[in-house]
Chain A
Amino acid sequence: MSKALLYDATMCIGCKQCEVACAEQNKLPYDDRIAAESVQSEYKYTVVMTKEDKFMRRLCMHCEHPACASACPVGAFHKTKEGPVVYDVWKCIGCRYCMVACAFAQPKYEWHSRNPRVRKCIMCPDRVAAGKQTACAEICPTGATKFGDRDDLIKEAQERIRQNPSTYLPHIYGLHEVGGTCVLILSSVKVEEYGYPASAKLGDTPMPEYTGRVMEKIPDFIPVWSLVLGGIYWISHRRQEVAAAEAEERAEEEKNGSKR
């Protein structure tokens, strides 16, 4: 069963402990200057954003049907059976199609490296595979980020909305967006205000389907199109050969005729 993270923005106190734990877990630099940055980057996989007295966290959504994994020409991304979408740097050729393809703009790049890598939250795959929580969920003092089975977390989120309909918007962000994600968000304000793409814009169709519709036809297209092209070639050249042969015949006949 797929694991997931439920982030409840109404419970978040903006302490940024998740940022600290994430940096530690992934051996990323972290200091006051980085803590003050409100955007994700090659060294900041997750960020807690502040708007007035409200907070919102951002991290890789770990899609059920990840666009990055479908887009990567060398298969450097894949989704593990526990849910995390992970990155194999040794395969990467640096085309950055994953960055362009991701609807949530999560993959970031080491722009100033000579041998750059794509960087993003990988949902602590080793910890998750070992049955532990992600680093951010473990450290969260209020339980705003909660780790668990996706199905259980969905039930819990629905329960929270039912019990406090005045607190929450009646929508679990990530439940159906782009075919579902392993990060689910509950909030009292629209997530778009924090830079998340709007649900209406994303739709429920998994992004890989848009390219898949074309890609799946290619194995059939190749033999058909080759046959059509080869056929045209054959017909037009056959016509030429016939014309040449006829011309020769005629010339022969004329020659014979003149002899007689």
Chain B
Amino acid sequence: MKLKLTFWKVVFIVIMGMGLYSTFIRYFYGLGAVSNMSDQFPWGLWIGFDCLCGVMLAAGGFCIVGAVYLFNVERLHSVMRPAVLTAFLGYILFIVGLLFDLGRPWYIWHQLIYMNPHSVMFEVGMCVMTYTTVLFFEFLPSVFERFNLKTPIKWIKKIYPALIVLGILLSTLHQSSLGSLYLIMPSKLHPFWYTPALPFLFFGSAIAVGLAMTIFESTQSAKAFGRHLELPVLVELGGALLVALWVNALLRFEDYFHRGMLGQIVKPSYEAYFLWLELMLAFVIPITLLSFKKVRLSSDGLYFASVISLLGFITNRLNVSLIGFETYAGHHYVPKWTEFSVTLMIIAMGFALFGVAVKYLPIFPEQGHPEPQRPRTELRPAVGTAVLGHAGD
């Protein structure tokens, strides 16, 4: 155990060391020295992964908060704090990533004074700022509880309904606006991924990812921190995930159908291989897996299906932001190792901060009195459908 711990510590130190070297290169020699971005490829891994995937993976926050507070799914209460923590850390790290990617990050505050309401990027920026603030307040109760501060908890409880509504509103806007960003490039982005439905698809997939991410992080923390795993909660989330995946798959099918693309997506091509990979990972494999009751009722099965679908949606975001531009740009973009090292450093920071927070704050429900394990035979997709029912609004 001790040896294992030092091994991971060494990995962490190596990642941080390489990341800090890249950070130095980034700020002293410019974006060109640290990355393979160019005039043909102005956006690279940092936008494609750190920003698009980072925000997507933080969707668990608003999904679970919505389920618990809007739809009163009390059973999910135990996974709400980890989900909010993940979202909060996700947004903080997303901002860190942005500080690497922006050419002039020291002027980031210009967003607040030189506003351009026609710009989707402006909407994105405002959502990031406000939603991170909301997440901070949603996260605060666990800090107050830790230090036993009764009065501030009372205050937070008073504004909680407003926080919840605001948080979900901002998430809706933010998740969809990341898709809207690409609407202005109909002649550049490959037709497999350019569709007027991009904002809806981004929002819809964020809900599926939010559910999958909650399953992933609950299982992962149960393993890492020796927490009790609440299987009924995971089973419930797994059912909702299955419904969310079906809805997303249907949305994708309808989009291709109405744009007359079905014939083209089955023809082999460079882009088609990536699209197939995406569709296999995001939909085909997890939906098939989750259709088996045996898988849906086992923690390993749920974990596996969630991870596969997460990889699928990550592929989707990378396809939209990187692969979809290669034909237009006329060359392949492969990130430089220094770009990877910054991304890795940010991810490592995320894991470390999550670990620290879980260790010192009441994030997971108290142990010792686990809920009796009720066998849950019926599937309850209520959460998924209820949330998704408004996805197209």
Contacts and interface: CB of A to CB of B under 8 A. Distances in A.
Contacts of A240: 72
B296 to A, nearest CB: 26
B42 A99 contact: yes
B40 A105 contact: yes
B169 A116 contact: no
Contacts of A222: 169, 173
B288 interface: no
A188 B331 CA distance: 28
A212 interface: yes
Nearest to A77: B116
B378 interface: no
B116 A114 contact: no
Contacts of A99: 39, 42
Nearest to B198: A214
A214 B180 contact: yes
Contacts of A93: 102-105, 107-108, 110-111
Given A93-B104, A93-B108, A197-B187, A211 B180 contact: yes
B104 A228 contact: no
Nearest to A75: B116
Interface in A213-256: 213-215, 218, 221-222, 224-226, 228-230, 232-233, 236-237, 239-240
B329 to A, nearest CB: 9
Interface stretch (B23-31, B144-152, B270-278, B307-315): B23-31
A75 B117 CA distance: 9
A208 B184 contact: yes
A239 B72 CA distance: 10
Contacts, number: 174
A74 interface: yes
Residue in B118, B119, B168 with the greatest tally of chain A CB atoms within 10 Å:
B119
A73 B121 contact: yes
Q: What is the interface of chain B mostly: helix, strand, loop, or mixed? A: helix
Nearest to B37: A111
Given A99-B42, A215-B117, A236-B72, A112 B29 contact: yes
Contacts of B33: 111-112
Interface in B111-126: 111, 114-125
A30 B118 CA distance: 37
Contacts of B31: 109, 111, 116
B393 interface: yes
Interface string B67-85: 0011110000000000000
Contact of B184 (A112, A210, A237): A210
Contacts of A105: 39-40
Contacts of A94: 102-105, 107
B319 interface: no
B107 A92 contact: yes
A225 B169 contact: yes
A71 B116 CA distance: 8
Interface residues of B, number: 58
B42 A100 contact: yes
Contact of A71 (B27, B184, B187): B184
Interface string B153-186: 0000000010011101100110000001101111
Contact of B180 (A70, A202, A215, A233): A215
A110 interface: yes
A207 interface: yes
B17 interface: no
Contacts of A115: 103-104
Interface in A57-92: 67, 70-76, 91-92
B256 interface: no
A203 interface: yes
A114 B120 contact: no
A245 to B, nearest CB: 16
B291 interface: no
B186 A210 contact: yes
Contacts of B105: 93-94
Contacts of A201: 187
Contacts of A236: 70-72
Nearest to B70: A232
A206 to B, nearest CB: 10
B239 to A, nearest CB: 20
Contacts of B124: 73
Contact of B30 (A72, A95, A111): A111
A21 to B, nearest CB: 23
Nearest to B321: A100
Nearest to A41: B39
A73 B28 CA distance: 26
B122 A73 contact: yes
A191 to B, nearest CB: 14
Contacts of A203: 186-187
Contacts of B111: 73-74, 93
Nearest 8 A/B pairs, CB to CB: A94-B103, A111-B32, A99-B42, A73-B121, A75-B116, A94-B104, A74-B114, A73-B122
7 contacts: A74-B122, A91-B110, A92-B107, A96-B103, A109-B42, A111-B32, A236-B71
Interface of A: 40-42, 67, 70-76, 91-97, 99-101, 103, 105, 108-116, 197, 201-203, 207-208, 210-215, 218, 221-222, 224-226, 228-230, 232-233, 236-237, 239-240
Given A103-B188, A105-B39, 6 more contacts: A73-B125, A74-B110, A92-B107, A112-B30, A218-B123, A237-B72
